[in-house]
Homo-oligomer: A and B are copies of this chain.
Amino acid sequence: MVQNNFEDIERCDYIHARSEKVEELDQLMPDDEKLYNLAELFKMFGDSTRIRILFVLFESEMCVCNIAQLLGMTQSAISHQLRALKQSGLVKYRRDGKTVYYSLADSHVRTIINQGFEHVCE
């Protein structure tokens, strides 16, 4: 996917002057799969509906229906988003009769959102 044809550089030649820096960068850059997964993870936080859902789950587990009520959205919309969050490993669920309770999967979720929140609140 990522190609570094340093031989073909015609115009900007800054990189030639520091080719050791380039190799260093190439080594430090995580592989494509990890970068893709990282982007996919952050994509989950990049929607205000999903952010709202996660904020609700910060406080306690909650069923789909009540999350929908709290956010003023349809059950379907919430269920679809919970599915995405579940597939990304951000939330987990337990079933109790007809009801399915969702909760945060691990503490990273809190940490990441809080970091973002700090940044936004400046």
A residues with CB within 8 A of B: 1-6, 9, 11-12, 14-15, 21-22, 24-26, 28-30, 32, 34-48, 50-52, 55-56, 58-60, 63, 65-66, 69-72, 89, 99, 106, 108, 111-113, 115-121
A116 CB contact (under 8 Å) in B22, B41, B50, B59: B41
- Partner among B50, B72, B111 whose Cβ is within 8 Å of the Cβ of A4: B72
Q: Are B28 and A59 in contact (CB under 8 A)?
A: yes
**A-B complex: 8 closest residue pairs judged by Cβ atoms:** A43-B46, A42-B45, A12-B65, A3-B72, A46-B46, A39-B48, A42-B46, A108-B119
Q: How far is the CA of A99 from the CA of B13 in the complex (A)?
A: 12
A to B CB contacts below 8 Å, 18 in the list: A3-B72, A4-B69, A14-B65, A15-B66, A15-B69, A22-B70, A25-B56, A28-B55, A29-B56, A30-B55, A32-B48, A35-B52, A38-B45, A38-B48, A39-B45, A41-B119, A42-B46, A46-B46
